Amino acid sequence: MTSALPQPSTLTIRPFQHRDLDAVASLAASETAVDSSGKDAAELGRKMQTVRHWYGLLKCLSFFPNPLRYFFCTYVAEQISRVCGMIQVAPFNKTRSTWSVKRVTVDTGALSSGTQCLSSDIGSQLLRHCFQAIWEARTWLIEVNVNDNFTLALYRQNGFQTLAHITSWAIAPETLQALAEREPDLPNLLPVSNADAVLLHQLDTVSMPPLIRQVFDRHVIDFKISLVGSIVKSVSRWLSKTDSISGYVFEPQRKAAIGYFDLKVCRDGSCAHKADLTVHPAYTWLYPELLAQMARLVKDLPPQPLHLTSTDYQQEREEFLEQLGATRIEHTLMMSRSVWHKLRESRFVALEGLQLSEVLQGLQPSRKPVPGRFSFVDSVPQEPITSAPSASPSGDRKLEKMPLLSELDSSEKTPD
């Protein structure tokens, strides 16, 4: 006899606690782990080590706004006092209107054989719990590998739709050395500061389609960094032995930023360099110049490849990377789900569906009106008009004196 699937009430979803460290670490190492970003679960393991050492401090920092408030925002699914799944989320922008799902990890082996449920059911309940618990989120964003059929089916089952295709590229160290030999033509290359946040926001706005721009919902504040945030990033770079170099190209005629790069270099050669690149669609000639500039910045460091991403709406970048000889290392899908606009749509549909007769139904009489007596005498003033009739210059005549109704009645009754 097949066992019935457990009801949603048998699965408890709660925030992450200190006693869940070992269980979540075992989930990260299990073979049934589902990683939404398509990356290795070792990144989760390194973050778990940080949480283990600094759990008390991170717990205190989660009660007030700060850069580390959502460092490890995680919910776990528990059944029969055993952790069978976890989901990690984080805000995508500083206004927290868009949130991203970092990873969903499910381990059905942790459940008892008599009440074991499908991993897709556990993942769906974890996602729905986040949709309801995090009330600030209007839109949810995820990035999943195209070859991960199980995760794609999980997200599509819960209403996620494809926004764009993302391709990760790796530029070989030999190619970087060849690019670093020439001097890039960037006369207006400036360092990035908080005063340039408006320019970077404008560049980010024009570099993507309207739908993706609406999902990202970035503002000027997203391109600024606070004092506490800069200190946290400096400490993080010191611990990971990395440096961050950023700059943008300023167009003096249009008084706008037309190109921007953020390069994270590894000083000890333990990992690859990573770069974020944004170019105005009308200035695609900046791609070779900015890549040459980044190649010159890493030429004195241990040889490592440079990782860069491109989307399907950036055709010029993909064509340039193909001509450059870059290698495709990963292909992912960026998907989104809105949980805010459906309320607005339901309201508009309810109003549009009403007919005019239904709207004016309350104004129609419920029965045929009964004729009543109306006295015209009470409404007419009794004082007679004493002015004599005279013709106006324009040819119009003034109102003549009219006899009252009482006078007419008395004249009719007078004998000849």
Structural domains in the chain (count): 2
Q: How far apart are CA 161 and CA 335, in angstroms?
A: 5
**pLDDT score of 58 more than 60:** yes
Residue 246 lies in a domain: yes
In this structure, are 170 and 70 located in the same domain?
no
Q: 10 Å Cβ neighbour count for 15? A: 11
Domain that holds residue 129: 8-159
- Residue 40: per-residue pLDDT: 54
Is the domain of 265 the same as that of 319?
yes
Q: What is the mean pLDDT of residues 234-246?
A: 84
pLDDT in tens, 177-209: 999 998 998 989 999 999 999 999 999 999 999
Domain stop point among 301, 320, 341: 341
Which has the minimum average pLDDT: 42-56, 61-75, 181-195, 234-248? 42-56
More confident residue, 210 or 105: 210
**250 and 139 co-located in one domain:** no
Element holding 45 (H helix, E strand) = helix 42-53
pLDDT of res. 121? 85
| Domain presence at residue 1 | no
CATH number of the domain encompassing residue 48: 3.40.630.30
pTM over 0.85: no
Region 295-321: what's the mean pLDDT?
92
Amino acid at 234: S
Instruction: Give the integer Cα–Cα distance in Å for 72 and 57.
Output: 12
Q: 2-6, 81-85, 381-385: which range is least confident on average?
A: 2-6
Which residue, of 127, 159, 191, is where some domain finishes?
A: 159
195 and 232 together in one domain = yes
Query: Given 319, 341, 363, which residue is the final one in a domain?
Result: 341
Question: How far is 218 from 97, CA to CA, in rounded Å?
Answer: 9
Asked whether residue 411 is assigned to any structural domain, the reply reads no
Q: Is the pLDDT of residue 3 over 80?
A: no
